[in-house]
Structure formats: C-alpha cells, structure tokens
C-alpha cells in the first residue's frame, strides 16, 4: 500500500526540483508511518498517540522540512470557544497558501469557530490525518468523506514560501542532507517569534 501511494505521489511532482521532490516524498513517507497511531490530544509519539496538529509538527520535523515546533498549551475544545486563528498562525509560520495541493502539502479544515484541523496531502484528495472520529491516524479521501469535504478551507505548502530567497551563490555550499533555512524563516527564528 505505501509503495503504491509513494509512486502515485511521485508522479505528481516530477516537474519540481529534485530536492523538493525528495522532501515532499519524505513527508508523505513519514506521514504514512504514523497510520494507525491512536488519536490522543497533545500527544506526539508514533504508535502511542497523536492529535492532528502534533502529527503535522512531527511529520515535517521528521522529514527535515521544519525545525522542532512546540505549540503553546491548548484545550481539546479550544476551537469551540475562540475565533483566534491559532492553528493557522502556526501553519503560516512555515507554509503559504496555494491553490492546488501537491503531495506533502497541508490541507486545513474548519471545525468550530476557526481552522482547527490539519492533514497531509498524499495525492489529493487522499490525505493522512489524526482523526478524532476514527480514533487514530488514517488514510482518508477528503472529498468522499462528507464531514471533511464540507469543512475544507484550503491548502498550504512549505515549498511555496521563501525558498526563492536563498541566494543562488550559496547553493553550491549546501551539503547533501543539510537543511536550507530560507531568509524569512531565519529572520523569524532570530527574532524569537
């Protein structure tokens, strides 16, 4: 099953730069490794428990796309009582909204008063997400699942934001496997935001 999904994902990104292809496939592969992990609010341990937000942080960090992210405390029902876009704020620190999703991108959904559910695109509409209603991390069809389809807000991609800000003359100095930190992210991290 995983091999088939990886091949389908790869076929959709052949026009992307090689490094981006590798990172996107690493995200999809890492996400697939979390399948069947029980749903557990604020947990982030593969095979033991994870929620949708922590799944995103662990997958993107595990694939080497983002640094470690430690969200502030949040109650399980925070989205029912607040309109502040906390979840979206964290996503937009590392990703930018895009029109059409590619493998490895993020699909966001509105539950309650704000965006409060995230998933990882395998090959749209196929997603991996920690789904409270399933009680675990599942591979799902976001169009066939009516509950998800009605709540879809849009797509965000870590590869759409700032990668063009890496000076071309530094690309030759990057070693294989080294993470490139775009200027916008380096500035954000240095400011302690």
CA–CA gap between residue 152 and residue 149 (Å, rounded): 6
Token pair in block for residue 2: 């995983």
**pLDDT averaged per 10 residues, the chain (length 193):** 91 96 97 97 95 95 94 65 77 95 97 89 98 96 97 96 44 40 47 53
- Quick one: pLDDT at residue 142? 98
CA–CA gap between residue 39 and residue 134 (Å, rounded): 8
- Quick one: pLDDT at residue 71? 80
- Quick one: pLDDT at residue 80? 57
Query: Residue holding tokens 């800000």?
Result: 165
Handedness of CA 110, 25, 100, 67 (dihedral sign): positive
- Quick one: pLDDT at residue 114? 84
Three-class SS of 88-139: HHHHHHHCEEECCCCCCCEEEEEECCEEEEEEEEEECCEEEEEECCCCEEEE
Cα separation values, 113 from 73, 140, 163, Å: 18, 23, 32
This prediction has a pTM of 0.81
Give the closest residue to 127 by CA, choosing from 149, 112, 158, 94.
149
Task: Give the helix/strand (H/E) hosting 22.
Answer: helix 18-33
Domain range list for the chain: 2-161, 162-193
Write the class of the CATH domain 2-161: alpha beta
- Quick one: pLDDT at residue 184? 42
């Amino acid at each position: 099953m995983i091999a088939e999904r990886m091949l389908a994902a790869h076929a959709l990104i052949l026009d992307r730069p090689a490094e981006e292809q590798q990172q996107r496939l690493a995200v999809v592969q890492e996400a697939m490794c979390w399948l069947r992990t029980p749903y557990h609010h604020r947990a982030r341990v593969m095979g033991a428990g994870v929620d949708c937000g922590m799944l995103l942080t662990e997958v993107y960090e595990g694939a080497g796309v983002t640094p470690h992210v430690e969200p502030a405390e949040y109650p399980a029902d925070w989205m029912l009582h607040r309109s502040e876009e906390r979840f979206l704020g964290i996503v937009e620190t590392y990703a930018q909204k895009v029109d059409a999703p590619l493998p490895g991108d993020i699909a966001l959904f509105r539950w309650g008063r704000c965006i409060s559910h995230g998933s990882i695109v395998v090959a749209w509409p196929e997603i991996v997400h920690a789904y409270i209603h399933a009680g675990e991390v599942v591979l799902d069809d976001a169009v066939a699942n009516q509950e998800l389809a009605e709540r879809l807000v849009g797509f965000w991609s870590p590869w759409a934001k700032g990668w063009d800000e890496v000076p071309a003359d530094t690309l030759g100095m990057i070693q294989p496997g080294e993470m490139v930190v775009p200027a916008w992210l380096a500035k954000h991290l240095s400011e302690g935001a």
